[in-house]
Amino acid sequence: MFWPVYPFDELKTFVFNALEHNASYYDHNIMGLPATYLDPKMFPADADFLENAPFIKSFIENPNHIGLHTYEKSISSFQGTQKLELDLLRICAEEIFKAVPNNYDGYVASGGTECNMQAVWIYREYYKNVLDAKNDEIIVLFSEDTHYSLFKVCNILQLNFKLLNVDFNSREIDFEKLDNLLSELKADGVKYFITVLNMGTTMFGSIDDIDSITHLYKSHNIQFKIHVDAAFGGFIYPFTNPNNVFNFENPNVDSISVDGHKMLQAPYGTGIFLIRKGLIDNVLTEEASYIEGLDHTLCGSRSGANAIATWMIINMHGSKGLMDHMEQLIIKSDFICKSLSELDVRFFRNEFMNIVTILSEDIPRRICEKYTLVPDMHKGQPKWWKIVVMEHVNWQLIDKFLLDVAQCNKDNLGMSLAYG
């Protein structure tokens, strides 16, 4: 994995040049597009600071990146900044997720939810178009720790789904149960499987065992497609565990989604969807006839500025910078885990991830609430509370939290000695 660091000034020049290669609503002949620059009363385009604010400048110019630019044709008015999006996709697909150059499609979506829906939509249509599948012959499988967006996806796409149980402590999928489930589903006439696997679950940061799952699928001789939900983990796990198998070198991985607006600290609206070349044709909307290159995406119009922001962040750090940055988060997570263990507080943690999920029995709710830990459920009694070690979770905050946990342990010990 390698891409270089670019200084901010160079990135700024790249972005301004890219905007020059777009058609600008300010000084080009644009009369047919149902769009314009942002309202100048609110967003003046001549403010002095904009000379040093390429993202805000792009935001005000308001290029629409509608459609798919990895395809042979797309709307020509915003070609300049589309090229930056293409370069962002290249870095993610080829450098981070090991795709063969130009052997993938993708776009910058609104976020992980849209990416998950785009993937399942494509596979449903693939099974229908290519294998003549009926809706009720298709099933979507995902673990009980999978993000709730999958429930929306199956509801909207009218697909049946089954949850795969996980072990309470290890958060690993129960393969014996899955084995039985596959036999039952096949006996019930299910022929086509869509599986969403996690490179980092939302609550635990746990990583699904793709090798064991695909091995099991092959032993059942079933048709399957695999989407990797790396919305949270995609910008940390490949850096902290470079030998992982969640990438396009693995023939079982068909698509991957990763959110810029989580680990990369990009603005909301930067979900990156990547899929092996060709599969996305199954959702080409021919009726989008007024759009050059038609449309393969779920969302339609989308902000070019978001793609630019993510492209700038990724190039400002370079591969080495991001690796160092993620390593710092791992060092902090390791320290939290070591300290919690010394305090006899039980937790789940994947060693390559920055999520530490504490058993609720071992930590008082008032401390969790004081430090805004997130529970697995807001209604009823939570079983778990999670810490996500993001950039702003600094050593001072960690120390304060651990001191509070230690103090509470001491008070409890004092109580049990006094009454015990």
Q: Does 113 bind ligand PLP (CB under 6 A)?
A: yes
Q: Does 229 bind ligand PLP (CB under 6 A)?
A: yes
Q: What is the DSSP letter of 93?
A: I
Our CB check for ligand PLP shows the closer of 75 and 197 to be 197
Cα–Cα distance measured from residue 154 to residue 152, given in angstroms and rounded to the nearest whole number = 6
Report helix, strand or coil for 85: helix
Our CB check for ligand PLP shows the closer of 54 and 205 to be 205
Q: Do 381 and 359 contact (CB within 8 A), yes or no?
A: no
- Rounded to 5°, the CA angle 151-185-154 comes to 15
Report helix, strand or coil for 375: strand
Our CB check for ligand PLP shows the closer of 257 and 360 to be 257
Q: Does 295 bind ligand PLP (CB under 6 A)?
A: no
**Least separation in angstroms between CB 230 and ligand PLP:** 8
Q: Does 231 bind ligand PLP (CB under 6 A)?
A: yes
Contact string (CB under 6 A) for ligand PLP, positions 191-220, x = contact: -----------x------------------
In terms of Cβ atoms closer than 10 Å to its own Cβ (0-12, 13-18, 19+), residue 219 is exposed
Our CB check for ligand PLP shows the closer of 97 and 232 to be 232
Q: Does 106 bind ligand PLP (CB under 6 A)?
A: no
Cα–Cα distance measured from residue 154 to residue 131, given in angstroms and rounded to the nearest whole number = 20
Q: Does 125 bind ligand PLP (CB under 6 A)?
A: no
Residue 334: count of CB within 10 angstroms of its CB: 15
Query: Contacts with ligand PLP in 150-189 (CB under 6 A)?
Result: none
Query: Contacts with ligand PLP in 369-408 (CB under 6 A)?
Result: none
Among 149, 255, 310, 357, binds ligand PLP (CB under 6 A): 149
Residue 327: count of CB within 10 angstroms of its CB: 13
Q: What is the DSSP letter of 99?
A: P
Which chain residues interact with ligand PLP by CB under 6 A? 111-113, 147, 149, 202, 229, 231-232, 259, 271
